[in-house]
Amino acid sequence: MSCTNIRQDDIGRIFAIDADFDLSGNTELRVVFTKPDGTIVEKLKADGVTAPGVDLTICVDGVDQTFLANEYFQYSSEAGLLDLTGSWTIHGEYVDATPKDLSGDVSRFTVLPRE
């Protein structure tokens, strides 16, 4: 998912998830994490999930990738979220008033132990 290691109990780790479509008409945005033990954690706009209106270039799997404005979800981890080491999944979900409720592609990432 990124070029930097994600560590257990990281706070402020920014997750960016490409949507490949315009998120600006949303009524709700969700980022869904699945922990290694199968626990599902949903984060909403009220929790800080956004669809920033600016382009973002980040390193993904060793390659710089540009996410277009309003076409990616962004969320910053808080205390207690990244509490387990191992293989995690993440995806974004978009809801609007038309009504649409769309789920994005699932990405995998690994949370490493603190050293």
DSSP letter, residue 46: G
Domains and CATH numbers, the chain: 6-108 (2.60.40)
User: With a threshold of 0.85, does the pTM exceed it?
Assistant: yes
Burial environment of residue 105 by CB neighbours within 10 A (0 to 12, 13 to 18, 19 or more): exposed
Q: pLDDT tens digits for 17-28? A: 999 889 999 999
Read off φ and ψ for residue 45, nearest 5 degrees: -55, -40
Q: pLDDT tens digits for 43-54? A: 999 999 999 999
Of 39, 13, 33, which is closest to residue 107 (Cα–Cα)? 33
Answer whether residue 1 shows pLDDT above 80: no
* 4, HSE (Cβ side, Cα atoms, 13 Å): 7
**57, 64 Cβ separation under 8 angstroms:** yes
**What's the token pair of residue 30?**
């969700």
Q: pLDDT tens digits for 61-115? A: 788 999 999 999 999 999 999 999 999 999 999 999 999 999 988 999 999 999 8
Of 65, 59, 51, which is closest to residue 23 (Cα–Cα)? 51
CA distance 44 to 22: 18
